[in-house]
Structure 1
């Protein structure tokens, strides 16, 4: 169990740093809302899933899910050891 604990802890720290960096790289939601129209009318709004911003949002979403699952797994391991 100690090996699994160490591996999960290392992944947990790396994932936490990666999520923090990706969140800081994302643009604010207020950007792109100018007088010429909203995000939905722009080329980038229509193709957001293919853009860099879309990729960052996907990584944030799936990274946060993985972060929560690792947290739960680490909690279960520690509880089973009686710590």
Structure 2
């Protein structure tokens, strides 16, 4: 079981790194990040590849979190 969790952890970490690196940079700085968060909060979703990479990075982050917690539980 631990081997499976280690494999999931490795795949999720590589996937998370890849999706974060493939996302386009925000050059607006702090004000752009606040405005972008407000736009997403009020219903304007990110379109195209940015939305896909955002969702994929969220999925990989959750997988990474769950697999690392599972690994610490099984290693005790």
Aligned residues: 64
More relative contact order, 1 or 2 (CA 8 Å, 6+ apart): 2
Instruction: Show the counterpart of 2:10.
Output: 13
Contact 2:15 2:57 in 1 (8 A): no
Q: Structure 1 segments of 4 or more deviating over 2 A?
A: none
Structure 2, unmatched stretches of 5+, are 29-34
If the length of structure 2 is used for normalisation, what is the TM-score?
Answer: 0.72
Larger-gyration structure (1/2): 1
Q: Report the TM-score when normalising by structure 1.
A: 0.67
- Root-mean-square deviation over aligned CA pairs: 1.9
Measure, in 2, the Cα distance between the counterparts of 1:47 and 1:70. 29
